[in-house]
């Protein structure tokens, strides 16, 4: 599905549930930020499940400010989970040739899928960001390059 189709779905929705590892689309993507702002003011109900990370904390503060909503409304909208509880929402990610000229990242949609259409290829920009994050975490805990 193309992102424009997702924009259209969100614009028309009366209720939106989002599970997000970082609130990127709702705080850093201008199109989604505007859709959310418009939807909130017309009464669309949003519910978010996010992990308790410093990144989410910063983005949540930005979300509150950008969407001009009171803190008590934010508390009703967001479930902030310990990272260990957030793990069931993650899908398997594979990065192929991360140090090559054309790395490719893929996200599996379903476990135990036996068809060819159950994988989403991540775009180049996000693949680069994922490679950077992977390296950073690997170095932090293993203290060497992956």
- Look at phi and psi of residue 97 and say left if phi exceeds 0, alpha if psi is from -120 to 50, else beta: left
Residues 97, 124 share a domain: yes
> Which phi and psi (to 5°) does residue 22 adopt?
-155, 0
Task: Assess contact for 71 and 39: CB atoms under 8 A.
Answer: no
146 contacts 135 by C-beta, under 8 angstroms:
yes
Shared-domain flag, residues 22 and 80: yes
pLDDT recorded at residue 1: 64
Reported as type and span, the H/E element at residue 86 is: helix 83-86
Residues lower than pLDDT 50 in the chain: none
Distance of CA 46 to the CA centre of its chain: 15
pLDDT at 115: 55
pLDDT of residue 44: 94
**Residue 46 maps to a domain:** yes
Residue 116 DSSP code: T
What's the confidence (pLDDT) of residue 108? Answer: 75
145: in domain: no
Let me know whether 18 and 79 are in one domain.
yes
* pLDDT recorded at residue 87: 82
**Structural domain containing residue 125:** 91-140
Nearest to 66 by CA among 116, 32, 99, 111: 32
pLDDT at site 91: 79
Task: State whether 69 and 99 are in the same domain.
Answer: no
Question: 74 near 47, Cβ under 8 Å?
Answer: no
Among residues 88, 112, 128, the one where a domain terminates is 88
Is residue 87 within 8 A of residue 49, CB to CB? The reply is no
3, part of any domain: no
Verify that 30 and 55 share a domain, yes or no.
yes
DSSP conformation class of 98: T
How high is the pLDDT of residue 114?
53
């Amino acid at each position: 599905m193309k992102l424009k189709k997702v924009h259209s779905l969100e614009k028309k929705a009366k209720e939106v549930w989002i599970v997000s590892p970082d609130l990127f689309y709702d705080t850093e993507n201008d199109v989604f930020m505007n859709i959310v702002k418009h939807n909130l003011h017309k009464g669309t109900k949003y519910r978010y499940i996010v992990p308790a990370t410093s990144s989410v904390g910063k983005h949540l503060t930005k979300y509150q400010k950008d969407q001009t909503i009171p803190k008590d409304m934010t508390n009703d909208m967001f479930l902030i989970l310990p990272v260990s509880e957030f793990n069931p929402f993650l899908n398997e990610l594979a990065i192929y040739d991360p140090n090559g000229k054309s790395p490719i990242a893929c996200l599996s949609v379903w476990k135990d899928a036996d068809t060819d259409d159950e994988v989403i290829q991540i775009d180049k920009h996000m693949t680069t960001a994922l490679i950077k994050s992977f390296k950073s975490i690997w170095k932090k805990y293993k203290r060497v390059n992956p």
